Amino acid sequence: MDNRRQIILDTETTGLYPNAAENPDRLIEFAGLEMRNRSFTDEKLHLYVHPQRDIPAEAAAVHGITLDKLEGKPVFAEVAQQIADFIRGAELVIHNAKFDVGFLDAEFARLGMPGVEDLGCTITDTLAMARERYPGQKNNLDALCNRLGVDRSRRVLHGALIDCELLGGVYLAMTRGQFSLTDAFEQEDDDTPQTTAPQPADHLPRPVGVKLKVLAADSEERAAHEAFLDQIDKSCGGTSIYRADAGSAQQ
């Protein structure tokens, strides 16, 4: 069973440039939802942060957060340790991780604190995963929710908390194939005899210690398979490669 501590993480900011020489952009919202064993736990951290600067209208139009709404909220220095303790040692699952990690690192650096990787975190970037899986297609969060059947009807504006919830669904959908077999067939009794089936070279490595049940076809299923091969032989006017391979394997 995979018991890694994962944090689905998102931020909202005043803009795009956390390291600008003058009036750098700042973090104004942080959200992190803990996931273990591919399920959200009750552990989460959601904070609004006063940026100590203005929020441009074009940024507010995206996330709906104005400076008035942040009146009385803590500045980053007041919540920095809370954020660091929450993410420490976890795998951070982030969409376009370079952006969010860049802002967190810049905020920590202003206080002389360790950056994200120095806190022992590893990063999984779902944008990079999506670009590899769906090259040439839109891979923003909205597009992935539509493609993968994740309900985004509650998302009117960008918001760190709702985006974390949606990203968790997207991440689970994109990685489901890596876990479905082990989730379905994992056995609790470690003393049960194991039959190991060969895996193709390009198959994902099987997690250590996981035992998979191998279910043999019954006579009815074998007969149906042979009838299907008969149809293939007839259509190609000879012996199909499936039977040829089977004959080679038996020699």
Strand 122-125, strand 91-94: pairing: parallel
Per-residue DSSP letter, 68: G
Q: How many helices (H) and strands (E) does the chain have?
A: 8, 5
Report the C-alpha gap between 36 and 24 in whole angstroms.
35
95 is catalytic: no
Strand 27-36, strand 39-48: pairing: antiparallel
Q: Is 194 helix (H, G, I), strand (E, B) or coil?
A: coil
Burial of 5 from C-beta contacts in 10 A (0-12 / 13-18 / 19+): middle
Catalytically annotated residue among 46, 158, 203, 225: 158
Rounded to the nearest 5 degrees, what angle is found at the Cα of 186, between the Cα atoms of 183 and 191? 170
Burial of 127 from C-beta contacts in 10 A (0-12 / 13-18 / 19+): middle
> What are 49's strand-pairing partners?
none
Q: In what order do the strands lie in the sheet with 122-125?
A: 39-48, 27-36, 6-13, 91-94, 122-125
Q: Is 92 helix (H, G, I), strand (E, B) or coil?
A: strand
Show which residues are catalytic: 158
